């Protein structure tokens, strides 16, 4: 290539170069039977619990670390700009969520939120018997994230605590408790509904605008958008994140983290009904189950005969679903879609 002064290789030369380089690549180690036996022996429920706890940790820790860096340096001589802003906090949560989904969702399904787990049980057939240990694992992951953050920032937190008490400001730093609880309910319900609807749209296999590679980042950006818009007046967005960290706060700073102006119950509980409302809105008004069947992600409860009967009875289907079904049939006119499309 150097002598020819070209950046192109003929097919034969390309193959020779590829074979040459392949000799310098370490071969993949064969998978041993011992390893397969070990992996098979692992309890499925334990793997799912650890994946959920790890995913929530990945999601929570970057966000609360960004909050700590920002909050604990408000009085720093270098100025706030050196240590972040709400914009940085939003991105920390967004990227943390994306990493959590990429890392842990293949094992547990990537719920990372008790409200999402409950919605999967309601709408998607997720086993109810798994719901309690999923929710416990999610809260535990957030608890560990909060515990680790306190340990890493303990000197700064203690100094901040002393300064705050000396200034008569107390230990509660949140825009929420200072507002009317009705406004806080409205804000929390809207934020959680907004996020829940976007999550459900991203998880819809019939959605042509979402791919498995883009979904983690789209979901993360939904969280970031709400952080940028409403973090200054307090939002929770996730029972596990709020309750897990609130327990850590109660351990180190007292029960005021739960009792201050009776705000905590809104932060802890209301993302569940809000998320059920949002996902129900999507399921009843926006979901295209026929498109889901057409793409091979679901089947009719009565099989091919039931699907054929449905199309015959309705007389028409949406264009997108018709095209997908036609391509799935590879030119077959079994469902007589030509006229309907």
- Integer CA distances (angstroms), 117 to 70, 133, 134, 193, 292, in order: 31, 10, 7, 15, 21
pLDDT over 70 at 73, yes or no: yes
**What's the CA gap between 118 and 116, in Å, rounded?**
5
Q: Which pLDDT tens digit goes with each residue over 207-248? A: 889 888 899 999 999 999 999 988 877 788 899 999 999 999
**What's the CA gap between 155 and 292, in Å, rounded?**
53
Where is pLDDT greater, at 64 or 180? Answer: 64
Structure tokens at 50: 């650890």
pLDDT number for residue 71? 82
In the chain, % of residues over pLDDT 90? 45
| Separation of CA 18 from chain center | 40
* Among the listed residues 283, 291, 282, 327, the one whose alpha carbon sits nearest the alpha carbon of residue 205: 291
pLDDT number for residue 334? 40
Where is pLDDT greater, at 311 or 142? Answer: 142
Give the model's confidence band at 74: pLDDT under 50 very low, under 70 low, under 90 confident, else very high: low
Q: Which pLDDT tens digit goes with each residue over 36-61? A: 999 899 999 999 999 999 999 999 99
pLDDT number for residue 301? 82
**What's the CA gap between 62 and 103, in Å, rounded?**
15
Mean pLDDT score of the chain: 81
**Entry pTM:** 0.80
Where is pLDDT greater, at 25 or 261? Answer: 261
Residue 277 in contact with residue 271, Cβ under 8 Å? no
**What's the CA gap between 102 and 217, in Å, rounded?**
10
User: Which residues does 143 contact at the CB level (< 8 Å), separation at least 6?
Assistant: 244, 245, 247, 248
Structure tokens at 287: 């979901």
Q: Which pLDDT tens digit goes with each residue over 169-215? A: 777 766 555 567 788 888 899 999 999 999 999 999 888 898 888 99
* Among the listed residues 17, 13, 34, 33, the one whose alpha carbon sits nearest the alpha carbon of residue 25: 17
DSSP string, 207-243: -TT--TTTHHHHHHHHHHHHHHHHGGG-----HHHHH
Residue 92 in contact with residue 65, Cβ under 8 Å? yes
pLDDT over 80 at 128, yes or no: yes
Residue 271 in contact with residue 138, Cβ under 8 Å? no
Give the model's confidence band at 109: pLDDT under 50 very low, under 70 low, under 90 confident, else very high: very high
pLDDT over 50 at 25, yes or no: yes
Q: Which pLDDT tens digit goes with each residue over 308-333? A: 888 888 865 554 455 555 555 544 44
| Separation of CA 90 from chain center | 14
**What's the CA gap between 67 and 12, in Å, rounded?**
57
User: Stretch 9-36: mean pLDDT, rounded?
Assistant: 62
What count of other Cβ atoms lies within 10 Å of the Cβ of residue 100? 27
Ranges 49-53, 72-76, 150-154: which has the least confidence: 72-76
Q: Which helix (H) or strand (E) holds 337?
A: none
pLDDT number for residue 112? 95
């Amino acid at each position: 290539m150097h002598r020819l002064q070209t950046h192109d290789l003929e097919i034969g030369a390309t193959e020779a170069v590829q074979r040459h380089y392949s000799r310098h690549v370490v071969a993949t180690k064969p998978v041993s039977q011992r390893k397969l036996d070990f992996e098979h022996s692992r309890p499925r429920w334990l793997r799912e619990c650890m994946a959920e706890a790890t995913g929530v940790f990945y999601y929570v820790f970057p966000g609360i670390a960004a909050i700590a860096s920002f909050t604990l340096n408000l009085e720093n001589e270098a100025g706030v700009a050196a240590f972040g802003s709400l914009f940085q906090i939003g991105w920390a949560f967004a990227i943390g969520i994306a990493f959590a989904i990429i890392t842990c969702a293949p094992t547990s399904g990537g719920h990372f939120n008790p409200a999402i787990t409950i919605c999967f049980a309601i709408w998607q057939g997720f086993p109810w018997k798994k719901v309690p240990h999923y929710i416990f694992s999610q809260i535990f992951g957030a608890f560990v994230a909060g515990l680790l953050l306190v340990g890493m920032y303990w000197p700064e937190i203690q100094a901040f605590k002393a300064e705050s008490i000396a200034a008569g400001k107390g230990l509660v730093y949140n825009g929420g408790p200072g507002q009317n609880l009705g406004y806080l309910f409205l804000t929390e319900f809207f934020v959680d509904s907004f996020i829940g609807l976007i999550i459900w749209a991203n998880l819809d296999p019939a959605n042509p605008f979402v791919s498995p590679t883009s979904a983690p980042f789209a979901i993360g950006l939904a969280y970031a958008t709400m952080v940028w818009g409403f973090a200054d007046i307090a939002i929770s967005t996730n029972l596990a994140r709020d309750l897990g960290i609130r327990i850590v706060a109660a351990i180190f700073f007292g029960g005021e983290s739960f009792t201050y102006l009776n705000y905590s119950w809104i932060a802890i509980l209301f993302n569940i009904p809000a998320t059920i409302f949002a996902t129900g809105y999507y399921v009843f008004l926006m979901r295209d189950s026929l498109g889901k069947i057409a793409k091979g992600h679901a089947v009719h409860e009565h099989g091919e005969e039931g699907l054929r009967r449905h199309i015959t009875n309705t007389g028409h289907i949406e264009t997108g679903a018709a095209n997908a079904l036609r391509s799935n049939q590879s030119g077959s006119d079994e469902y007589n879609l030509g006229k309907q499309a």
